[in-house]
Chains A and B, each alone.
Chain A
């Protein structure tokens, strides 16, 4: 059912030049996002999650591979079709202090796209629409907010404005890149709950990029999580499967390492000891599986030989690990 697929990354790679070297930031990533779906991309810095998000949003061209929007390669879209793609996909950036124009009032920021894309016939209608959108993201009193400049708003409020601005063009897909990581704990949840409401009520799909697995589990409770490591997808699947029936040793290491806001739980967690704490540089990647120098289950000859392909092991649950079956059986017996 390809009609079900809103956006699809097919074997997408992205290289960057660094001096004389080619750095592979994203290496052969494939994933398809359905309408209304939430996918969280999780990983540590340098894993390529932001680059993947930018490619999905059409802000960065892949070096190889294709991005399909409603089944069509976005590189071949022209004229009004391309415009429709651009409007359908929006991005909300990490830093709400940098992503809003400081010399424009919120009114100016909100009204400009509404008029430019002729989504509202005149200034008055645009203002009404802007108010409606600000209320939708729980920014009230919207009338007052409209006349403010970004510096007069808190970080949380600014991030809501960024979301409202993204909504001006009726997107069906939003890439949210660490969109809540710069706001305080107390406000983070209300932002997440608001985004989840947009997903439910406006049927907006999300590619939500975060380094925080607990946050990903909460936001994508009914969606999927993809775990990236050094540019490759290590594991991807329905959220409960990735968290509770973890297949990749890297995901398992992350889950065991994360401290949790529950003293009894976090102090009784079993810690996985890695063979090395050192993250390989993207300039000197190891052969085979990129995780093999750190992996506690490293099998010489297999893991440092060929790079493992991402393959399906459970329903919709994919993993790139040569040892996944054996390890899953062992883990199952231990429990």
Chain B
């Protein structure tokens, strides 16, 4: 295994709300390896985007990280992001880690031209060589297959959704981040545009060698792009597996449920099964394993105790008491 670039340990985050604290992250632990593509999957409200924002220090004002550590590793340990001052974080952002947000298509400043977005970003990090920045911007824009002469002097509204998404990818790579976080990178794009972005991501990764975390509710995107898949449920990671294992032999009943619920275009049409019920209210969660009310395998132990995330064979991690029986269940459901 290559080296670790980011080590997240026992991360807890709460949002304050009128109804009480929302436990959006409840002890997230994982290591991100250099050069890999990690997909974060799960239903809406499971904490995927919250985790992405927390990693890059952009949590909204009503969020509070109550516990845990976020260690950015670079040869020698670079220390805990959570202990850094806002100035230090700001310096690291874009250089160490960049994120393209979910509402990315609206993330531009509508009154700035695209070239000004590149210059602004560079300036915020002390780079004032206009000519040099523009050379780099042009190179990145051509890497995302855009015509720099046309795009740079344009305003965001003059570009299509797919073009804006590509500009954002180019912009996020401006300062050569080591880690790139993408939140729903292809949602809201049409099928053929989505394919263009997917192929671009593969090429950019090969060219620039960054480590990629992407958040998606779209399992087929994970199947297409990820090296590893991390399944999130109720604010925790419940399974981390190699992509083939996650889809073919899941070891958490929730991963199994998700992967059995998606129709494919090829192969026989099997009757798909859905996961009964809905995700828990993060203010009032059930006791024990948070998935037990929806789980076909729940036992008395699951109602009382929350299973910890632990390492099992093949470098996988799972938080389920019955993980060894999960794969066997699969045949029975079709």
Name A's B-contacting residues (CB within 8 A): 44-45, 154, 156-157, 184-190, 192-193, 211, 213-215, 217-218, 221, 243, 253-255, 257-267, 271, 274, 277, 279
Question: Which chain A residues lie closer than 8 Å to B259 at the CB level?
Answer: 261
Q: Specify which of B145, B218, B278 is in contact with A154 (CB 8 Å cutoff).
A: B278
| B63 CB–A CB distance under 8 Å | no
Instruction: Identify the interface centre among A157, A189, A190, A214: most chain B CB within 10 Å of its CB.
Output: A189
Q: By the criterion CB–CB under 8 Å, are A217 and B258 in contact?
A: no
Q: By the criterion CB–CB under 8 Å, are B193 and A277 in contact?
A: yes
Q: By the criterion CB–CB under 8 Å, are B43 and A184 in contact?
A: yes
Q: By the criterion CB–CB under 8 Å, are B191 and A186 in contact?
A: no
Q: Specify which of A187, A217, A243, A258 is in contact with B191 (CB 8 Å cutoff).
A: A258
Question: Which chain B residues lie closer than 8 Å to A257 at the CB level?
Answer: 191-192, 194-195
Q: Specify which of B192, B269, B272 is in contact with A193 (CB 8 Å cutoff).
A: B272
A-B contact pairs, 28 of them (CB 8 A): A154-B278, A185-B218, A185-B219, A186-B258, A189-B261, A193-B274, A214-B265, A217-B265, A218-B272, A254-B191, A254-B192, A258-B220, A259-B223, A260-B223, A261-B222, A261-B223, A261-B259, A261-B262, A261-B264, A262-B247, A263-B243, A264-B244, A265-B266, A266-B220, A277-B145, A277-B162, A277-B196, A279-B190
**SS of A interface (majority):** helix
Q: By the criterion CB–CB under 8 Å, are B274 and A190 in contact?
A: yes
Question: Which chain A residues lie closer than 8 Å to B258 at the CB level?
Answer: 185-186
CA distance A275 to B284 in the complex (A): 53
Q: By the criterion CB–CB under 8 Å, are A258 and B265 in contact?
A: yes
Question: Which chain B residues lie closer than 8 Å to A188 at the CB level?
Answer: 261, 274
Q: By the criterion CB–CB under 8 Å, are B267 and A185 in contact?
A: no
| B101 CB–A CB distance under 8 Å | no
Given contacts A214-B263, A257-B191, contact A186 B275 (CB under 8 A): yes
| B221 CB–A CB distance under 8 Å | yes
Question: Which chain B residues lie closer than 8 Å to A186 at the CB level?
Answer: 43, 257-258, 261, 274-275
Chain B 38-76, CB within 8 Å of chain A: the 1/0 string? 000001100000000000000000000000000000000
How near does chain B come to A265, taking the closest CB pair, in angstroms?
A: 6
CA distance A274 to B199 in the complex (A): 13
Q: By the criterion CB–CB under 8 Å, are B261 and A263 in contact?
A: no
| B217 CB–A CB distance under 8 Å | yes
Question: Which chain B residues lie closer than 8 Å to A45 at the CB level?
Answer: 190
Q: By the criterion CB–CB under 8 Å, are B261 and A185 in contact?
A: yes
Instruction: Identify the interface centre among A254, A255, A265: most chain B CB within 10 Å of its CB.
Output: A265
Q: By the criterion CB–CB under 8 Å, are B266 and A261 in contact?
A: no
Q: By the criterion CB–CB under 8 Å, are A214 and B262 in contact?
A: yes
How near does chain B come to A180, taking the closest CB pair, in angstroms?
A: 11
Closest A residue to B186 by beta carbon equals A259
CA distance A261 to B226 in the complex (A): 12
How near does chain B come to A109, taking the closest CB pair, in angstroms?
A: 21
